Amino acid sequence: MSSCFTYVGPSSIFQHLTTLVRDTQDWKPYYNFTVTEVPNEMVLKDPVLKKLHDFFPFKAGICLMDGFRVYNWHTDDKRKCSINMLLGHAGSFCLFKNSVESKEVVEPATMLDYQMGHYYLFNTQIPHMIYNDSGYRYLFTLEFLDEDVTYEKVLDNLTLYSI
Ligand SMILES: [Fe+2]
């Protein structure tokens, strides 16, 4: 089984994104979340995202999750991987199953302990779940335009070009 996530590095647009969260009125329902789009001109100011975008074009957004919610175990339908960054929360956690097939009642899991303001490559094909405690949780995330961009492809690219 490939890994669940890989640390990528710090963001240079963290402050821009938190300002966008504070100021935008443009929140829309999208799948099971409420999202706002992040304009490309903001995304491309960040050298990590710029290089990645050159190879694998994507659109970026911020997902808002309400407090006291669990997003149950799932794999994503529309994307095979993502780059995620936690922008703010009062307390939340994200877990991956250690075994894709497991249906045990008690089983091993791995936590992604997000360092706020830092990017992580996220393998959305490994079952994962999120619990958000009180308050909103804001997550920067993206969708590659080509739905076949895999975790391994992006990881190879990050390594090759030492992004
Ligand atoms: Fe997901």
**pLDDT band of 139, cuts 50, 70, 90:** very high
For residue 124, what are the domain limits?
Answer: 5-160
Q: Could you tell me the distance, in angstroms and rounded to a whole number, from the CA of residue 74 to the centre of ligand 1?
A: 6
Q: Could you tell me the distance, in angstroms and rounded to a whole number, from the CA of residue 83 to the centre of ligand 1?
A: 12
Phi, psi (rounded to 5 degrees) for 18: -70, -30
Residue 154 sits in a domain whose CATH number is 2.60.120.620
Q: What tokens does 53 get? A: 């975008």
Cβ atoms < 10 Å from Cβ of 86: 19
Q: Could you tell me the distance, in angstroms and rounded to a whole number, from the CA of residue 126 to the centre of ligand 1?
A: 9
Q: Could you tell me the distance, in angstroms and rounded to a whole number, from the CA of residue 37 to the centre of ligand 1?
A: 17
Strand order across the 58-65 sheet: 5-10, 118-123, 81-88, 137-144, 58-65, 33-38, 28-30
Check: CB of residue 129 under 8 Å from CB of residue 74. yes
In the predicted model, what is the mean pLDDT of the chain? 94
Q: How many domains does the chain have?
A: 1
Quote the DSSP letter at residue 116: T
Mean pLDDT of the 33-51 span: 96
Q: Could you tell me the distance, in angstroms and rounded to a whole number, from the CA of residue 94 to the centre of ligand 1?
A: 10
**pLDDT band of 33, cuts 50, 70, 90:** confident
Mean pLDDT of the 117-138 span: 97
